[in-house]
Structure 1
């Protein structure tokens, strides 16, 4: 199965992100918009793993995150990656100490298991679309992004096709502590 570790969003945040996506649609042509139900924050992409490795991954993540407190996920700024002369626009998430601490714990578990991790700096973001022709980069990159989402769990997702469409299905959740220790 093809999996990744991430943060699942509330319906309210997905609605807010959909508003940013509507602005993006006004400032671009072509491209594939991310479906609202697929909005999430990736912590670490893993890729294909066996069922046995998945069970071990969930167990080790649960142990590593056992004493981790809930934290706030804060909106950052909009930006984009470029791949094959097309834009991948995103809404950024601030790299807070709490978010980076969770990222490092997740990455450590993946490395300890001998699984591959991406060899690039972590850029927390929510992908809005792919293969976009962005007509107004300036407008997209200079709009304010304001959201504050309480993160109460880390989620293991499966990335797969459902009825010919990409779907990110939550498989298991690891609950975070309710208060600061």
Structure 2
């Protein structure tokens, strides 16, 4: 199974993200229904018999509900050395998000997963770029939306998802919703 842990976005924020779509050749835009903030990717080939321990550990997470807003746009990789492959919207990261991330990371480690070796960079993926020669369009997009800011939305739960990759894009199925309660 392909599994990840994420925060869902409000419908109003998803609408705001839809408005950012631009005409960039080779851009594969994320479907509205697939917008999310990944807290932790667990892997592409997780045995189904590991689900009970994953669920048990995630249900032990204790964090308070909080509000989140999105701000600015960017790309991975950044810095211009390599062509952009991903367009994203940034997250105004309150301390409560870092606390939740830390709790989820501890739960994942307790469930037998390796520690994440990359720093937590909260973002929402908008598009994946297939053509490497669209620097001008990407640059225009980044300039046009650099001041983007969403309305704040409540975060009252996180979700364990399974993901199946299809030619039409990833299809996500929620396996567990964990309410935030401090």
TM-score (norm 2): 0.85
Number of residue pairs the alignment of both structures matches: 172
Name which of 84, 87, 94 aligns with 1:86.
84
Question: Which residue matches 2:129?
Answer: 131
Q: How does 1:99-114 map to 2 (within 5 A)?
A: 99-114=97-112
In structure 1, the gaps of 5 or more residues are none
- How far apart, CA to CA, are the structure 2 residues paired with 1:152 and 1:118? 24
Name the structure where strand makes up a greater proportion of residues: 1
Correspondence 1:76 to 2:80: no
Correspondence 1:160 to 2:164: yes
Residue 164 of structure 1: how far off its partner (Å): 4.8
Residue 168 of structure 1: how far off its partner (Å): 1.9
**Is the contact made by 1:45 and 1:117 (CA closer than 8 Å) also made in structure 2?**
no
Question: Which residue matches 1:34?
Answer: 30
Residue 96 of structure 1: how far off its partner (Å): 1.2
Residue 140 of structure 1: how far off its partner (Å): 4.6
**Is the contact made by 1:9 and 1:39 (CA closer than 8 Å) also made in structure 2?**
yes
Q: What's the C-alpha RMSD, in Å, of the aligned pairs?
A: 2.1
Residue 145 of structure 1: how far off its partner (Å): 1.6
In structure 2, the gaps of 5 or more residues are none
